Amino acid sequence: MEKKRGRKVMEDKEEVAHKGIAASFLCIAVFAFLVRVAVSLHPYSGAGNPPKYGDFEAQRHWMEITLNLPPKEWYSNSTSNDLSYWGLDYPPLTAYQSYVHGLLLRFFHPEAVSLFASRGHESYLGKLLMRWTVLSSDALVFFPAVLYFIAVYYAGHSNGRKTDIAWHIAIMLLNPCLVLIDHGHFQYNCISLGLTVAAVAAVLSEKELLACFLFCLGLNHKQMTAYFAPAFFSHLLGKCLRRQNPLLEVSKLGLVVLGTFALVWWPYLHSMEAFLRVLARLAPFERGIFEDYVANFWCTTSVLIKWKKMFATESLKLFSLGATISSCLPSMVQQIWAPSSQGFLYGLLNSAFSFYMFSFQVHEKSILLPLLPATLLALEEPFLLKWITLNALFSMFPLLCRDKLVLPYIALSALFILICHHVPDRRQDRKETRSFNSFMTTFLVFCSVVLHGVYLTMDPPSRYPFLFEAVIMLLCFSQFMFLAFYSNAKQWMLLKHTILMDKEKKLL
């Protein structure tokens, strides 16, 4: 009788908790969507800036191409598809997405996507419809993925407080960098990142096949999703190795991966030549090892060592491949050795960091990828999240300045700080380092605020026209390096923790 009542209470509690999650998710999601719509009022990249415009024009051009040409010609240079003008250089899923969105645009505003005639098309309705395609993708992919993740992540800890969960949802949905890039600058990162979040949630809920499928979709939307591939690979491999029949498990996953890829690449599988042509478009090695002023290893060290001048592209490719693999190896080894949910999230962060730091052709926006696992870990690592977000924002500041997005930059940073202000801090063990920490963080925040002001108001000396960008890059790079070391160390400390736990269990 007692037990029955107890179970009833538990069920009631669970129901209340679920209702609580749903209500707070709904509320925060509507607010986050409102923020996105408000950001989308602002200018997009390359607005009113002929002849090349910016990412907005690129996406619109892809819609124009996919809508008016058969799939086979999407990736090949021809009289009707000039690849030197924003040629399609994302995997086929992006092309299909462009096609669907192109249909929508053609229905309401045919001039915006007519072949040739629409180049550099800019209009009130055109902007609005384009913005709405991103908004709807966000609402249809990223938001449900976050809900899925939250539901899975907090299904285990029934004692998770309601405010904690609400805070975590807010952090994930109101990530200022993602909102600024997608709805301000104009890109569709919400789709690939949303698919990744859903894949992570599927991994956490032990649905490996679904996870593989979702992750491959993400990979086929944006090749940059490969930043997470080592973590997925090592975690799933580690898990499979612990099962009764490892080979069967691995081959099942492999089949899902191959099947998904075949499905997405179907129009290009009829000949090797077509396949290779698409592949060549996806890996633009001719664009150099880094672009603009990105706060990664190659760009920062090129202040001292002129990589681009000293080495040929071929050797740089090898360098970057070697450096990337060796830097994400420790985290992979940890996951193969002892796969765990928490370790997997750290692994995602670490592999994304090593790709951001060392891989070929990275640009500022790629910081969104390490940022994503940091938001997934928000409740465990509030400081890490705060620090990486602020630095990521700062590292993108020159880019956003060019896009005339300073106002939403300020507003969203302020909003993020306000949300962080309510951080549910459950840790007491950091008190010793706190005074030093707070001194350093205050100093760095002060530096970055000053740099913001300088960047906005002063002209750089004519001898070094990119002096301020370089200083911003140096500052952010140092912070990212520190954070990458920290999170690698944390991942390995998890191992120690679990070993200790195991020992204790044995002793008991």
Partner 1 sequence: MSELLWFFGVAACVKLLLIPSYHSTDFEVHRHWLALTHSLPLSKWYSDETSPWTLDYPPFFAYFERVLSIFANLIDTQIVHLQEGLNYSSDTVVLFQRITVILSDLCLLYGVYRLTKDLDSRRRISIWVLIIWSPMLVIVDHMHFQYNGFLLGLLLMSLSYLEEGRDLMGGFVFAVLLCFKHLFAVAAPVYFVYLLRHYCWGGFVRGFRRLSVLGAVVVAVFAAAYAPFVYHGQIQQVLHRMFPFGRGLCHAYWAPNFWTFYIILDKGLAFFLKKLGFAIQIPAASFTGGLVGDSSPFAILPQITPLTTFTMVLLALSPCLIKAWRDPRPGMITRWVAYAYTCGFLFGWHVHEKASLHFVIPLATVAVQNLDNARHYFLLSIVSCYSLFPLLFEAQEYPIKVLLLLLHSIIMWLAFSAQFTKEETAPIKKKVDQLEKRSSNATAKRGEGFVIGGVEKSYLVGLLAVEIWGQLLHPLLFGDKLSFVPLMLISIYSGLGIMYSWIWQLRWIIRSPNI
- Which positions lie near partner 1, rule CB under 8 A? 23, 26-27, 30-31, 33-35, 37-39, 41-42, 124-125, 128, 132, 135, 407-408, 410-412, 414-415, 418, 421-422
SS3 54: coil
Minimum distance, C-beta of residue 483 to partner 1, in the bound complex (Å):
26
SS3 290: strand
Concatenated DSSP letters of 84-149? TTT---S-HHHHHHHHHHHHHHHHH-GGGG-TTTTTT---HHHHHHHHHHHHHHIIIIIHHHHHHH
Q: Round to whole Å and give the CA distance between 443 and 284.
A: 40
Minimum distance, C-beta of residue 404 to partner 1, in the bound complex (Å):
9
Q: Round to whole Å and give the CA distance between 268 and 282.
A: 14
Count of alpha carbons within 13 angstroms of residue 412, beta-carbon side: 35
Max CA distance (Å), the chain:
83
Task: Decide: 208 and 401 in contact? Cβ < 8 Å.
Answer: no
SS3 458: coil
Q: Round to whole Å and give the CA distance between 380 and 486.
A: 13
Decide whether 134 or 219 has the Cβ nearer to partner 1. 134
Q: Round to whole Å and give the CA distance between 380 and 371.
A: 14
Residue 2 has phi, psi (to 5 degrees) of -60, -45
Minimum distance, C-beta of residue 18 to partner 1, in the bound complex (Å):
15
Task: Decide: 127 and 44 in contact? Cβ < 8 Å.
Answer: yes
SS3 426: coil
Decide whether 177 or 336 has the Cβ nearer to partner 1. 177
Minimum distance, C-beta of residue 490 to partner 1, in the bound complex (Å):
30
Decide whether 336 or 412 has the Cβ nearer to partner 1. 412
Answer left, alpha or beta for residue 246, where phi above 0 means left and psi between -120 and 50 means alpha. alpha
DSSP state of 380: T
Minimum distance, C-beta of residue 68 to partner 1, in the bound complex (Å):
26
Task: Decide: 369 and 407 in contact? Cβ < 8 Å.
Answer: no
Tokens, residue 398: 């020159």
Decide whether 42 or 490 has the Cβ nearer to partner 1. 42
Minimum distance, C-beta of residue 382 to partner 1, in the bound complex (Å):
17
Minimum distance, C-beta of residue 48 to partner 1, in the bound complex (Å):
13
Decide whether 445 or 470 has the Cβ nearer to partner 1. 445
Decide whether 256 or 412 has the Cβ nearer to partner 1. 412
Minimum distance, C-beta of residue 139 to partner 1, in the bound complex (Å):
11
Minimum distance, C-beta of residue 190 to partner 1, in the bound complex (Å):
16
Concatenated DSSP letters of 316-352? HHHHHHHHHHHHHHHHHHHHHHS--HHHHHHHHHHHH
SS3 126: helix
Minimum distance, C-beta of residue 166 to partner 1, in the bound complex (Å):
11
Task: Decide: 177 and 396 in contact? Cβ < 8 Å.
Answer: yes
DSSP state of 76: S
Minimum distance, C-beta of residue 184 to partner 1, in the bound complex (Å):
10
Decide whether 150 or 420 has the Cβ nearer to partner 1. 420
Decide whether 421 or 434 has the Cβ nearer to partner 1. 421
Is the N-terminal amide bond of 370 cis, ω within 30° of 0?
no
Decide whether 30 or 262 has the Cβ nearer to partner 1. 30
Minimum distance, C-beta of residue 63 to partner 1, in the bound complex (Å):
19
SS3 366: helix
The residue length of the chain stands at 508
CA-based torsion, 480, 481, 484, 487: positive or negative: negative
Decide whether 125 or 303 has the Cβ nearer to partner 1. 125
Minimum distance, C-beta of residue 158 to partner 1, in the bound complex (Å):
21
Q: Round to whole Å and give the CA distance between 62 and 222.
A: 14
Decide whether 174 or 377 has the Cβ nearer to partner 1. 174
Decide whether 33 or 261 has the Cβ nearer to partner 1. 33
Residue 294 has phi, psi (to 5 degrees) of -95, 140
H helix intervals, 40-91: 55-68
Decide whether 124 or 436 has the Cβ nearer to partner 1. 124
